[in-house]
């Protein structure tokens, strides 16, 4: 079984690296497509067996699973660009893009019979600790549901939800956590500016420590 991941940013790159060290796919069965050659070179350096390309059509040519891991506004042009190949191959399509619904994907594909999966991980996927939200459309087979759950369980913890819960779930597991860390970062910086020392400062420097 082969998988193509289109987009090698934070989510796409982390997903590719994680899957390459898992049990569902061998590294040689993974192809990553990305226009930035430097980004591709970093992935290749980390996982020499992985396949890289700047050509989306080449990436999906023999893929059984296609992951779109691009910004939401790029999902439509990416899918429309590979649509003829998708129509022939009929792969399982996994979208990692907040706000993109199954109805949108059906429109981009000009076809409502594809097996579609919506996935929202967070940046902890880079260390295989992501609580990943997963929603399936009504075309996905039980076999593919099990496949996707296993994929993302290996990258953290897969949480199966209904599509209508995606927006709220994203706020809790992804954006909400990011805001919490921003608060912690701001609080730490404020403490330093108020005269507290970080743990890297000498113990004798001050009795007040953060």
- Is it the case that residue 89 has pLDDT exceeding 50? yes
Of 116, 151, 147, 145, the closest CA to residue 130 belongs to 151
Q: What is the pLDDT of residues 114-133, one digit of tens each?
A: 999 999 988 788 889 888 99
- Largest Cα separation within the chain, whole Å, is 70
How far apart (Å, rounded) are the C-alpha atoms in residues 116 and 25? 19
Which residue(s) pair with 197 in the sheet?
209
Q: What is the pLDDT of residues 33-70, one digit of tens each?
A: 999 999 999 999 999 999 999 999 999 999 999 999 99
Which pLDDT belongs to residue 185? 85
- Is it the case that residue 6 has pLDDT exceeding 90? yes
Give mean pLDDT, residues 98-102. Answer: 93
Q: Which ranges of the chain would DSSP assign to H, the alpha helix?
A: 10-20, 37-46, 56-60, 72-89, 102-109, 142-153, 166-170, 176-193
Query: Domains in the chain, ordered, with CATH?
Result: 3-163 (3.40.50.720), 169-205 (no CATH)
Q: Are strands 116-120 and 130-136 parallel, antiparallel or unpaired?
A: antiparallel
Kindly report the pTM of this predicted structure.
0.84
How far apart (Å, rounded) are the C-alpha atoms in residues 179 and 18? 25
For all residues of the chain together, what is the average pLDDT? 90
């Amino acid at each position: 079984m082969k998988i193509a991941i289109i987009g090698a940013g934070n989510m796409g790159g982390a997903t590719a690296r994680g899957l390459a060290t898992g049990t569902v796919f061998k590294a040689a069965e993974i192809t990553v497509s990305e226009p930035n050659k430097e980004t591709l070179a970093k992935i290749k350096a980390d996982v020499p067996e992985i396949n890289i390309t700047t050509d989306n059509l080449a990436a999906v040519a023999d893929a059984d699973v296609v992951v779109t891991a691009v910004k939401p506004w790029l999902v439509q042009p990416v899918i429309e660009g590979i649509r003829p190949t998708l129509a022939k191959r009929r792969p399982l399509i996994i979208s990692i893009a907040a706000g993109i619904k199954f109805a949108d994907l059906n429109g981009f594909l000009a076809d409502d019979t594809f097996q579609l999966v919506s996935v929202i991980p967070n940046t902890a996927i880079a260390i295989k600790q992501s609580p990943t939200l997963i929603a399936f459309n009504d075309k996905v087979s039980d076999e593919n549901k099990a496949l996707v759950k296993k994929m993302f369980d290996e990258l953290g913890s897969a949480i199966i939800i209904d599509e209508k819960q995606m927006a709220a779930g994203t706020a809790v597991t992804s954006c909400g956590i990011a805001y919490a860390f921003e608060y912690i970062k701001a609080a730490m910086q404020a403490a330093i500016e108020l005269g507290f020392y970080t743990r890297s400062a000498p113990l004798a420097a001050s009795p007040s420590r953060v």
